[in-house]
Amino acid sequence: MDQTVRQLGELLLGAVPTAILLATLYLLYTVLVHRPLKAVLAERRCRTEGAVEKARADIAAAEARTADYEQRLREARLRIFKNLEARRQQAMQARAEAAAQARARAQEQVRAARAGIEQDKQQAMANLQAEAGRLASEIVRMVLRPVGAASLVGGQ
């Protein structure tokens, strides 16, 4: 048993440099690899999550700008339609005024033509009256003329 304890002690004594080397290796791994790797992974996670948050914020901002653009587009279309309606109303009003003026001119021309026709009618009536009077005088003269003179006029 003594021999077993001594062998165990030698084994433990031989294992001390391995244990020291293993502890040193663990310390070096922790200091040189594990901590920087952990820091890099944390930074990467932070940047990734930050990029995702930034992307979400950019998407929200883009949606807000899109909504604003669509609102301004609707307002611009509404203004255009109102302008078109106003122009259409003005054109219809101008057309109605032009038609009223044309009607008034036509009525004035009709009045002037009727007055001219009436004046021509009066003049024709006066001419007819004068001609009727002259013809009546000639007929009376022809009827009242002596009989002998009538044969000379007829050519017999």
Residue type, 156: Q
Task: Give the Cα separation of 144 and 156 in Å (integer).
Answer: 19
d(CA 73, CA 78): 8
Q: Name the token pair of 119.
A: 């004046």
State how far the alpha carbon of 140 is from the alpha carbons of 110, 136, 137, 155, in Å.
43, 6, 5, 20
CA–CA separation, 94 and 87 (whole Å): 10
H-type alpha helices, the chain: 2-28, 35-144, 147-154
Query: Given this model, what pLDDT does residue 97 score?
Result: 96
pLDDT at site 148: 59
**Tens place of pLDDT per residue across the chain (156 aa):** 889 988 888 888 888 888 899 999 999 999 999 999 999 999 888 888 888 999 999 999 999 999 999 999 999 999 999 999 999 999 999 999 999 999 999 999 999 999 999 999 999 999 999 999 899 888 888 888 876 555 555 555
The pLDDT of residue 10 is 87
* Location of structure tokens 């006029």: 153
Task: Calculate ∠ Cα 82-90-72, nearest 5°.
Answer: 15
